[in-house]
Copies of this chain bind each other. A is one copy, B any other.
Amino acid sequence: MKDVAALAGVGLATVSRVINGVAVDPHLTGRVLDAARQLGYRRDTAATSLRRADRRTSTIGLVLQDVANPFSSALHRAVEDACVRRGLLVLAGSSDEEPERERELLGVLLTRRVDGIVVVPTGAPDGELAAAHRDGTPVVCVDRASPVPGVDTVTADNRGGVAGAVRALHALGHRRIGFVADHTTLWTARERHQGFVEATAELGCRARPEWVGRDVHTAEAARQAVTGMFTTSPAPTALVTAQNWLTVGARRALVGLGLHHAVAHIGFDDFPLADMLDPPVSVIAQDPAEMGRRAALILLARLDGDDGPARAVTLPTRYIARGSGEIPPPGR
């Protein structure tokens, strides 16, 4: 910058003004821009945000469960889209559901002085998250309830979604319904389980502990759990799986048992190619892109000075009937 100023024969302040688009003698502006181009000048964001009055870095942090999970990457993309329009860059990382890693990641982001944070919280009490919120860095929790109070959240209607699926299965005549969910530490897993419990109770379905798998975290674990569930007697006639990978694992199990056309199955969260499996898989779809978009919009509003009370957006889920959920119980 010093060199640019020297080459253009102006002061540093003028170069700064030109770079920042502040009105300046057009003649000087031209000289500065020429000099900058000639020297390949590039303003340093670190120094800029260090000195700037608002201390903004034009960067927001995004803490996902795993950038490679389709749900997460759709979310990532939606947040990115909302942010580029505002000239913000997204710093994304994977927590892998580990509270320790989440804290670490948040720490790094805060150290980088991000303007705001969008996080899919592991749910563990998190000092870093609380600190960020306390220090005035806007935080938005997506997909799951916030472990610290007073934070904006965007979640799906997990309970209602699962309950709706259970009711649909019941209406088809199913009375023995199995359920498989992720780690109990996860808010979504608990909510979905709760939705299942409430709906089955309300409908008077028989519930057996061996028809409910909890703390099932991978597709492979789901395959094993479902295989076990359907080789006991009596076995359920229908199944609800509470996460996309578990749904896939369950499909593998049912295909393996030759039951894929015999057992009704509804998964929570849509996934690519669900419509191309045999039979096509019915799902309770959430809209990760919309969740990301809403979260980003709230964050941007906070960055624009919105200091209203914490918002808690709940997005509806949508049942997509494709076939696997429309299989009647045997004998009907």
Would you list which residues of chain A between 11 and 65 have a CB under 8 Å from chain B?
40, 42-47, 49-50, 57, 59
Q: How far is the CA of A276 from the CA of B219 in the complex (A)?
A: 13
Q: Which residues of B contact A278 (CB under 8 A)?
A: 277-278
The answer to whether B252 touches A113 (Cβ under 8 A) is no
Q: In the bound complex, how far is the Cα of B42 from the Cα of A111, in angstroms? A: 6
A70 lies within 8 A of chain B by Cβ: yes
Interface residues on A, range: 35 or more
* Pair A66/B57 contact, Cβ less than 8 Å: no
Q: A59 contacts which chain B residues (CB < 8 A)?
A: 112
User: What's the number of copies of this chain in the assembled complex?
Assistant: 2
Closest to A89 in B: B108
A45 close to B91 (CB less than 8 A): no
Interface string of A259-301 (1 = CB under 8 A from B): 0000000000001110011100000000000000000000000
Contacts A40-B131, A76-B67 known; A93 to B94 CB distance under 8 Å? no
Contact indicator per residue, chain A 92-125, by CB within 8 Å of chain B (1) or not (0): 1110000000000001101111000000000000
Query: Would you list 10 pairs from A and B whose C-beta atoms are within 8 A, ordered by A residue?
Result: A40-B135, A45-B113, A66-B77, A67-B80, A68-B73, A70-B70, A80-B93, A90-B91, A90-B93, A252-B276
Closest to A131 in B: B40
B46 pairs with A57, CB closer than 8 A: yes
